Every structure is written in structure tokens, then in C-alpha cells.
Structure 1
Amino acid sequence: MLDLALLGLALLCLACALLPAILAAMNLTLLRTPEAETRAPGLISILIPARNEEANIEATLRAALASAGTAIEILVGDDHSTDRTAAIVRGLAAEDARLRLVCVPSLPEGWTGKNHACAHLADAARGEHLLFIDADVRLEPNAAAGLAAHARRTGAALVSGVPRQRMPTLGERLTVPMINFLLVGFLPVAMMRASARPTLGAACGQLVLILRAVYAETGGHAAIRTSLHDGVHLPRVLRAKGHRTDLVAGQALATCRMYRSFAEAWAGFSKNAHEGMATPRALPVWTLLLLLGQVLPFLLVLAGLFGLLPGHTLAAALAALIIALSTRAAITLVVNEPVATIPLHPLTVLTALAIQWNVLLRQERAGAATWKGRSYPVGDA
């Protein structure tokens, strides 16, 4: 009876590993790097909210100023920085008239900081398309033109992609790879493109291009003013109004180093978890899917190697482990993340689940999320 139960568990692990494997195989063929047009019409406004970003802002601006194939303007919203962010932007703006510094007004009640800064930048922008990027994102020269060209070719009002993630430290490698693994392994991209359902909308808040007219029509960031996760909610707002949104491969369009340590990564992913997986309904389901498909096969194979499992059970567990690691390896290689993160995959999954459960349990006690020196109330999910 125990052997039968173990075999059933191993087969369940195999099924849970196959789900993201199949979706990833499909998605990796569908998510392509957009190509720029020979002559790109219109102006693109590159909008960068910045709060105490003196370590990042100069490199980010120099990369954006090197954009090619389209006319651009760059607006940096200084959100009450207490460091040299504004001074650095002013110095570069004196060298290039395409760059402007915009001072963000005081944060009104009921807004989160990034959404307020982005909305203010959009009001000051003149471009046909608005390209929102984070202050730690380095655009490649063809990025802005390529995203706008894809939007025109497909009729998508919003186009987004995940930049290539730089993660030199172990703490980053235990956390950041889950972005692409979850997106590529669990989002049905073909269904997203065929359906206007808001729940299928997805974006990466680091790199989002929106048609200006649609942004104004739908309310843009003002429509999600209380949100801490614009990558989830902004495309859903547009889809709810009947507009198409799309994802592309972003690793050749930009690079980003989100965090500098495990502590920063934990805090950052905790902030987004409030509106992501960390809900009483969703998290138990995600926990089962990820533990059974990505973690337990490793433990079962380890037990089998010590002679604790029958041969057929070990074979099923080994198949699940091979599929899980192969899926992660395929995603890692395509999105150009460090190969050394692949064997860390079970630990990365456990770390992600630990962050989500910590947020869910803490939310009941604290009822608030903190980011960049500001505290925001968190409603019941």
C-alpha cells in the first residue's frame, strides 16, 4: 500500500512538472524580440520615475539617450529624492535637449509612489507612445523603436517584456529567476493573444510601452493608483476596456539589476507579493503546483538513490526531476540568465514560496507594505 501511494505521489509530481514544461515549450517559440521599422513614425516618450537613484540614473539615461531608429524624448520624474538624483539629471539635460527633469508633486493620499510619478510624467509627455522604464533599466539602442513597431504591427495598446536580469550575488540568484520561470512556465501566451480576458493580461513593470491615446482613455496609472504591482494591474485595466496587450522577449531590449542583495530582493518581492500569489485562495494552489512539480522530485530521487523507493517510483520521480530542470534550463538559456542558477532551482522555488507565505501571514498582522521609505495599506486579497 505504501509503495502504491509513493508511486501515485511520483506520478503527481510528473504531471505537475509537465504543465510548465509544455507551456514553456510553446511560449519560448511565441515570445520573440521585436524588430524596429526602417523609418519609425512618431515620437516616443521614455518616462523614468526616480526616487534616490543616484547610483543608477546616469547609466540609465546615457543608455536611453543612445536610442536609435525613432525620435525620443526622455522625462525623469524626481520623486522627492534626498540624494544627487536631480543634480545628475540636470547635468545631463544641459548636454542634451531631449532630456527633461520633472519634479513630482507631493504624494496624495490614496496613491502609491511609482503610480503617482508615472501619471505625472505621462501628463508632461508629448509622445505618441509612452515607454515607462524603471531607473535601473538600461535600454538597448533598438528597444524603444522595436517595441513601438511591434505595437503598430499587432495593434496592441500595451507591449511589455522582461529585461535581461543581472544577478551577480547568490541572494539575487535565489530570487530573481522566478520572474521568468513563472511568466514563461505558467502564462498561456497563445491564449492571452487570442482572448481579451483581463485575467490573462501580464506585463513587467520594468519595461512597459503604452499608446498615449489609450493611456488617457483608460486612466493609465491613475486607474491603479493604490496598486503596488503595475505589471499585473495595468494590462488588466486596458483589457477591461477592450484593448489588446502583448508580451515580447525582452532580454535583447534591455538589462536590469533589480536588487543588490538577498535582503533587498526579499523586500522587493515581498512588496509585489501583496498583489500577486500571496492570497488565501491562490497561494495554496501555487504551493502545491511548485512543490510537487519543482521541489519534491529532487527529494524523491534522493530517497531513491538511498534505496528507499521501489524502482518504478524512482523512475517516475527521476522523469519529473529531469523535466523540471530541463524546463528551467531552457528558460534560463533563452532569457540569457546565469547558467549557475539552474542547479539552484529547487532552492529558488522554496525561497519564492517562503516570501509569499511570509507576506500572507504578515499581512494579517501588519496590514501594510513598505517600499522606498513609504508605507502603504494592504487590503484583504
Structure 2
Amino acid sequence: MSLDPTVVLALLCLAVALQPALFAAMNLILLRKPEPEPGGSGLVSILIPARNEAGTIAGTVRAALASTGTPVEVLVGDDHSTDDTAAIVSGLAAEDPRLRLVPVPSLPEGWTGKNAACAHLAAQAQGAHLLFIDADVTLAPEAAARLAAHAARTGADLVSAVPRQRMDSLGERLTVPMINFLLVSYLPVAAMRASLQPSLGAACGQLILAARAAYAATGGHAGIRTSLHDGMRLPRLFRAHGRRTDLVAGRDLARCHMYRGFREAWAGFSKNAHEGMATPRALPVWTLLLLLGQIVPWLLVAAGLSGLIAPAALVLAATALALSLATRAAITLAVREPWPTILLHPATVLVALAIQWNVLLRRERAGAASWKGRTYPVGRA
């Protein structure tokens, strides 16, 4: 006797929803806030590439200078800003000798802007650890000390975390939560820590601490000079050179307001998609995983409540739906994102897939990605 096709589909949905639920349960235990080291871990150089960041740079710099638990220096790389970024930093530097404004040279051929700025800042830094943060990241006072202590304690040459994300608009709430959802639900953190496999390398480009010696040995940002996705490429570069990388919980280490509104979020995630999910091999697989585990259960439950599918299929689909929502709820609450975004989860998944497919389908046509007023060829990283 053959099974009802809707029962088979619902069972498949349940199996696909179970995997991220199990990963999230384990990862939320493993991803903890790092503990500080009494006495500090030596000088940490906080490096901030900035291009037209006048609206946020003062708060970012002041928070970095307020670091406690370890000595810090703060270097801001002015990447040819046309606003008041440089003037603001210069004014703050006059009040605190730990702060330096570092003009970034003209963009070399074959480099992307952020990588060139970060590499130049690293060459000017003096700390044993280099903490790269985006210009819209506000560090907690002990963040630098905790990250450096974790690196020293675990032997990791690169440590990263996802800051707590600020989301003011509906467009941000429909896009930004996918960062933590994908990371916590689909990255096997235990396997990552037990292996140096480059494919298991992951980081958040908003907040990356690297050991200075390892950064120099691997080539650092020079080794990923063409990349637009340092959060993926830099840890994989380190692992390819036999260097250990790690992730920790970032909700108490920093805050970030990465995008303002849906249009900016769409552009930002599209920029990263070129080197992430939006490849001919990866995206169909991700589409199946996300649709079956996160979207189709909703449709089956609706069909079941309307009497269109077998009761057994409805039970299986409802279980898959409960797992999906429970996974998203657990992650959302753990990383302290706005709880109403839980109810937006199906739409968030569909928007994420729309971004990825849009990038993939226009890749050959457009052949380039744009960010911060610059245009880069696609697929050369």
C-alpha cells in the first residue's frame, strides 16, 4: 500500500525542520559570552574602516575608547570620505592620544574597498590582537578584553561574534534576522571547533578579532583582497593556513545598526550574496532546505485545516511548523532581537531567498556588485 503523497511531503518537511532545530539547540549552548582575563591580554588595536560615516563614527569611536579590561588603541581609516568623517575623528583624536586618524591610500587595482582599508589599518597597528569593527558597531566596555581573552585561552587565531542587531523598520525586520537564524541553525559549531576544515569557517564581518601574528602569516585582508564578504572569506583563509577560528555569543559584546530600511538591506545582503548562497550549486539546495523546513509546513497546515489533506499529514506538518517556529523563537530570544520578528519568519525566509535568486539570475547580466559608491566585478573572489 502506497503512502498518501501529502503524508510523504509532510514527513519530509518534518525531517528537514528537525535538523536546524537540533543544531540550534546545541549551538545556543555552545555559543557563550567569553570570559575576560584578569589583568588583560595585552594591547588590542581596534581598527575601524570608515567611508562617509559621519552619522555614526563619533559614537563608535567613543565606545571603543571606553574599552576596559585591557589596553586599547583605536585607529580609524578614512577611506576617501566626502562628508565630515575625518573632521569628527580628528576632533576626537585631539582629546585622546589613543585615537589616530589614518588616511587610506587610493584603492589599488584588484582590491575591494573594505579589505584595502583594513589591510592598511593593520599595517599601522601596534597591538598583539587586531579587532576589526564596522563603523556602525558600538562596542560594550569589556568586548575587546573578552574577545582577546577567549582567543588566548582557546588558541583561536580569529574570534568573531554577531553583535546585537538594531532593527527600526519593517524592512530591516524582514531581512536582518536571517543572519543569526542561518548561523545558529545550520552551522555545526561543535564540528567547527573540532576541525580546521575551511568550509566550516564562519564569522561576522562586523566584529572580527585576529591575532596579529596569524594575520600576517595568512596574508590577512590581502589574502581576500577581491572579496566583498570578509565574514566568510577571512576565517576560511585562516583555516586554509592551519589556523583555528571560533565564534562566540555577541549579544552582550556589541550593538550594530547595519541598515536603514528595506532598500538598503536588500542592497547590502545582495552584495554579500555574490559570495554566499547565490551560486548555481548551493542555492537550489538552500532553497529546498528552507522551503521544506520553514515554508511548506505552513501551507500544509492551512490545507489540513481546510480538510484538503489527510489528518496524518496535518499532524506531521503541524509538528514541523511547531519545530520551525520554536527554533526561530529560541534564536530570536537568545540573541535579543525583537520578538515580533518571530511571526515574520516565513516572510523573512522568502525575502532572503528572493535576494539570493535575484543576485544569481542577474549575475551574468550585471557582472558587477556595487557598494559604498564603488562597483566591483562579480565572481572574482
Task: Report if TM-score (shorter chain) is over 0.5.
Answer: yes
Alignment of 1:1-381 (within 5 A): 4-379=4-379
Q: Is the partner of 1:171 in helix, strand or coil?
A: helix
On the 8 A contact 1:202/1:247 being kept in 2, the answer is yes
| Aligned residues between the structures | 381
State the alpha-carbon separation in 2 of the partners of residues 178 and 367 from structure 1. Answer: 25
State the alpha-carbon separation in 2 of the partners of residues 354 and 219 from structure 1. Answer: 35
Seen in structure 2, the aligned counterparts of structure 1 residues 161 and 117 have a Cα distance that, compared at 3 Å, is: same
State the alpha-carbon separation in 1 of the partners of residues 78 and 286 from structure 2. Answer: 38
On the 8 A contact 1:3/1:310 being kept in 2, the answer is no
Output one character per residue of 1:152-208: Cα deviation in whole Å (capped at 9) or x when no partner: 000000000000001011000000000000000000000000001111111000000
Paired amino acid for 1:226: T
Q: Is the partner of 1:160 in helix, strand or coil?
A: strand
State the alpha-carbon separation in 2 of the partners of residues 319 and 48 from structure 1. Answer: 46
Output one character per residue of 1:322-356: Cα deviation in whole Å (capped at 9) or x when no partner: 00000000000000000000010000000000000
Post-superposition shift, 1:379? 2.1
Q: Is the partner of 1:280 in helix, strand or coil?
A: coil
Paired amino acid for 2:272: N
Paired amino acid for 1:151: A
Paired amino acid for 2:227: S
On the 8 A contact 1:159/1:247 being kept in 2, the answer is yes
State the alpha-carbon separation in 1 of the partners of residues 140 and 254 from structure 2. Answer: 5
Q: Is the partner of 2:354 in helix, strand or coil?
A: helix
State the alpha-carbon separation in 1 of the partners of residues 255 and 213 from structure 2. Answer: 28
State the alpha-carbon separation in 2 of the partners of residues 272 and 251 from structure 1. Answer: 22
Post-superposition shift, 1:3? 7.0
Question: Identity of paired residues, percent?
Answer: 74
Post-superposition shift, 1:380? 7.1
State the alpha-carbon separation in 2 of the partners of residues 380 and 105 from structure 1. Answer: 22
**What are structure 2's unaligned runs of at least 5 residues?**
none
Moved over 2 A (4+): none
Post-superposition shift, 1:364? 1.3
Q: Is the partner of 2:35 in helix, strand or coil?
A: coil
Paired amino acid for 1:309: I
**What are structure 1's unaligned runs of at least 5 residues?**
none
- TM-score of the superposed pair, with normalisation by structure 2: 0.99
State the alpha-carbon separation in 1 of the partners of residues 239 and 41 from structure 2. Answer: 25
Q: Is the partner of 1:119 in helix, strand or coil?
A: helix
Q: Is the partner of 1:258 in helix, strand or coil?
A: coil
Q: Is the partner of 1:278 in helix, strand or coil?
A: coil
On the 8 A contact 1:328/1:345 being kept in 2, the answer is yes
State the alpha-carbon separation in 2 of the partners of residues 97 and 365 from structure 1. Answer: 49
Post-superposition shift, 1:2? 9.7
